[in-house]
Every structure is written in structure tokens, then in C-alpha cells.
Amino acid sequence: MRLLTIGSIEPIAGFEDRLKLEFDLLKEDGFEITYKKIAKDNISFYHCYVDDELLLMENNFINIKQRFINCIANALSDVIINYWEPELIRRIIRENYFYFNKTEQGMIFDFAYSILNYNEISGKRDISYQIKRKNYVLHKIQEFLSTSGLIILDGFVNFRLKEYMRQLEDSVDIAIDEYLMDKEYNEFIKLLRHFVDLQEPKRDLVNVVFSNHKIILMDENLNYIERDSSLDLIAKENPDVNMDDITVSTLINIAPRRITIHGFNGNEKREVAHALYSIFEGRVRFCNHCELCAKSKSLTKK
């Protein structure tokens, strides 16, 4: 007896292997499921069958059908989330943001795929978001298969998973903003790097010390370097400018031949460290083992 027919227009990597895995698990429990693949027009159909003798057993049909639906829903939701989801995101980018070139679309995809599984609180990838999406898709498939013996995956994703597709579209929209901000930032960094390259270095070495959420500038003799008073005035008149901006601007004006960063732990003032490393390309080194590094946390400007 045929239990279900699965249709797919878009080729999906790993689909048949995932289907066979679920059928092997059912076979271990005594439910042998077979399938035949038939291509018609541009659709691949997978007709799934169960042995009639199993159905003749008392009260076995309902049990078999429910077990089968659960396994199929698990397989299809896994395929959609782990194999098809990247292609769905790429399709959204191609159709809605076709004016970006292929390289830009690739960068937008990276942003979008990262955003989908990003935990803003921990600042790390969180697989629980992927699990939530799979559970949502799984329940939708179970609900659909309880009343239907045919599922066309392409149509199901487009018309029955609208909330899921909206989540993917939202991630792409956010990714566009992230990409444009990142592009603007990189262009600004290039401009500053060019400006530094044109400057005549005012010092050979500047020590940049990360200390108690502050940044202290010292020369090669470990004397404090005062910030430009004009920059301090700008900061007072413009609340959007903070002390980190003033520190970076001071270093740009000095344009030292070498910069050594002390006391950086990889987290505190990370944006500043990254900016300095990018602006002063080839001039920056990190130190974490000298006497100044050891004293950095207790260091205060007198």
C-alpha cells in the first residue's frame, strides 16, 4: 500500500540519504518501508509503500501511519533546515537584491546565515535557534501529512511555512544593513589608512595600554602622551564622540612608526584594537608578557 508521495521540483542535496536513514530506523522496529522514485515533467516523485501484510494486523494501520508520519516529518524538516535553508536564503537575496553583484551577494548571505543563529546576549552562535526552526517546520509537516497523502516540498515551503520564510527574509534584510555598515566602515578605515601613510611620523613608538576600561598612551620611555586639546573640545561639543574616538584620532595625528598594544585580553575595547590594527597596517604588535602588561590593570594616569 502506498502511504505517501513526496514531490520535489528543486533538487535537494542529501534528500534520499536522509529518507533512507529514517526508513532504516523504521525497519529496525519491524516496519519495512520502500520507495520508488519517478520523474515526471520537472518534478521528482518519491512514492512510499508499506507491506500490505503489516496493515492486516489488528489496529496496526493507525500505529504504522503515525510512526511513518513522525519519521517523514523528522527527515523532511531536517532536510529543509540543514540542506535547503542556505539555498532559500540565496534565492531571497537573488530575487530581492539582484542589484548586488555575486561577491556582494555572497557576503550578504554570510551575514544572514550568521544572524539566524546568533545570540545577542552571549554574542555567540546558538544552535537552539536552529532547533526551534526545525521544530516549527516538523510540526507543520506532521499537521499537513495527517490529512494529506501528497506533499510537494517546494509548494509546502512557499505556502505553508510563511512564518519560517518571513524569518529568513528578515535575516536577509538585517544582513543588508550589516553589510552596508561594514562596507562603509571598511571604506572609512581605508581613508584613514591612506591619511596615516601620508603623514610624517611624529614618534617612533607609542605604547597603547588597556587599563581598567581606559586606554593610556605612552611613549618609548613610558611617559604619558597627552591627548590633543582641540580633540577634547570637539568631544565636549559633540556627545557622539567618545574618549576611544579621541584616542584613535590622537594616534592618527601622531602617525607613529610602531604601535605596541599592552594589556589587551581579546574582549575589552575589541573594536578599538581592531580599528588600530586596520588603520596602522603592519605597524601594530600585541604584547602580553612585559612588565607594562603586568601592571596594566593597576595603572592609572597621574
Is position 77 within any domain? Answer: yes
Per the model's pLDDT, the better-predicted residue between 12 and 233 turns out to be: 12
Determine the Cα angle at 187 with ends 205 and 262, to 5°: 30
pLDDT band at 31 (very low <50, low <70, confident <90, very high): confident
Does one domain contain both 174 and 224? no
- pLDDT in the model for residue 242: 76
Structure confidence by residue, pLDDT tens digits, 213-253: 888 899 998 899 887 665 556 656 666 667 888 889 889 99
Residues 176, 100 contacting (CB under 8 angstroms): no
Are residues 174 and 209 part of one domain?
A: no
- Burial of residue 92 (CB within 10 Å: 0-12, 13-18, 19+) is buried
Q: Is 37 found in the same domain as 64?
A: yes
Partners of 33 in the beta sheet?
50
| Percent over 90 (pLDDT), the chain | 49
User: Are 138 and 233 in a shared domain?
Assistant: no
Distance CA 262, CA 208 (A): 6
213 and 91, same domain (yes or no): no
Domain termination residue (choose one: 158, 191, 224): 191
Domain that holds residue 273: 201-298
Residues 82 and 168 in one domain: yes
* Residue 130 maps to a domain: yes
What cell was used for 120? 545577542
| pTM, entire model | 0.76
CB 105 within 8 A of CB 113: no
Q: Under a CB-based contact definition with an 8 Å cutoff, are residues 235 and 243 in contact?
A: yes
Cα 145 to Cα 35, 38, 140, 155: the distances in Å are: 17, 20, 9, 14
pLDDT tens digits, 256-291? 999 999 988 887 888 899 999 999 999 999 998 888
Question: At 223, which CATH number?
Answer: 3.30.420
Among 121, 156, 191, give the residue marking a domain's end.
191
As a whole number, mean pLDDT of residues 144-170 equals: 93
pLDDT for 262 equals 92
Residues 185, 261 within the same domain: no
Same domain, 117 and 209: no
Q: What is the pLDDT of residues 33-89, one digit of tens each?
A: 888 889 888 888 889 888 766 666 656 677 778 888 998 999 999 999 988 999 999
Is residue 281 located within the same domain as residue 241? Answer: yes
Distance CA 38, CA 36 (A): 6
Highest mean pLDDT out of 27-36, 98-107, 264-273, 287-296: 98-107
For the chain, how many structural domains are there in total?
A: 2
Task: Output the pLDDT for position 302.
Answer: 47
pLDDT of 268 reads 80
Q: Which amino acid, residue 95?
A: E
Decide if 196 is inside a domain.
no
